[in-house]
Amino acid sequence: MSDAQLAPLAANAVKKKRRRAGGMKGFWQRIRKPLAQSDLVKSTLATILAGGLRFVRATNRYAEGSSDVAQSYAKVTPSILAIWHGQHLLAPVLYPGGEPLAAMVSRSADAELNALVVEKFGFEAVRGSGGRGKSKRDKGGAQALIALKKALDAGSNVCMIADIPHGTPREAGMGIVTLARLSGRAVVPVAMTTSRRKVLEKTWDKTTINLPFGRCAMIVGEPIMVPADADDAEMERKRQEITAGLNEATERVYRIVDRQA
């Protein structure tokens, strides 16, 4: 058969493939919303994700140079554990079992699954700001800070993602600085990763999917205090200090698992 005869057949095959792809996309768009609204589906997915994280933890040994997690946390409790977006998926499974923890999770629909996963590990999920299409008053940031302060006052650590959703990645926002000022508790930079990982390059925060059968590491940095009488200039300096501390911890933890330390 000549090239001229093959060309129409190839074009038809491409068209059929596109129609199938379009049909699958349309099917997914029709069922995605009902699935997202199903408590059973969400709970099942959260259980699967929590199980996957436990498997990742069980198959990754701590690399030499990693912080002693239990000992490091014992020294700073109660405090505000600061992490970056993109590294947050591993946080619940690396926290010492049986120790109380309250974690701030966005109110957005996309973050609801994160909250359910956090609860699967026995931790408290405090819903914060980030709900799309809502006024600032309705986003719940102030209420979340009050809940986190109460947890700190009760002797629990709290975990807070320092950078703002869909803002500038690896740049701390003022929310975590405000909580430190109000509570009188230190912000502790925490970074974690695994040697085998998949980075989703197209996501705004370069979300990292941690994979099994490698090395893991966590770095617990030096505590950062924010004075109760801090003015705007001091708050900005502390925000920059938290950003620098988290970025330093992140660089260290990647060097450790990649054996560059």
Residue 137 pLDDT more than 90?
A: no
Residue 88 Cα distances to 223, 234, 239, angstroms = 19, 28, 19
Q: Is the same domain home to 92 and 133?
A: yes
Of 102 and 7, the structure prediction assigns the larger pLDDT to 102
Q: Is the same domain home to 32 and 120?
A: no
Q: Is the same domain home to 68 and 181?
A: yes
Q: What is the pLDDT of residue 107?
A: 73
Q: What is the pLDDT of residue 147?
A: 94
For residue 28, what are the domain limits? 3-37
Q: What is the pLDDT of residue 97?
A: 82
Classified as helix, coil or strand, 200 is coil
Q: Is the same domain home to 93 and 216?
A: yes
Q: Is the same domain home to 63 and 13?
A: no
Average pLDDT, integer, range 195-201? 95
Question: How many domains would you assign to the chain?
Answer: 2
Q: What is the mean pLDDT of the chain?
A: 86
**Tokens coding 175:** 């929310």
Q: Where are the alpha helices (DSSP H) in the chain?
A: 3-36, 39-58, 69-76, 91-94, 112-120, 141-153, 174-183, 232-257
Q: Is the same domain home to 131 and 25?
A: no
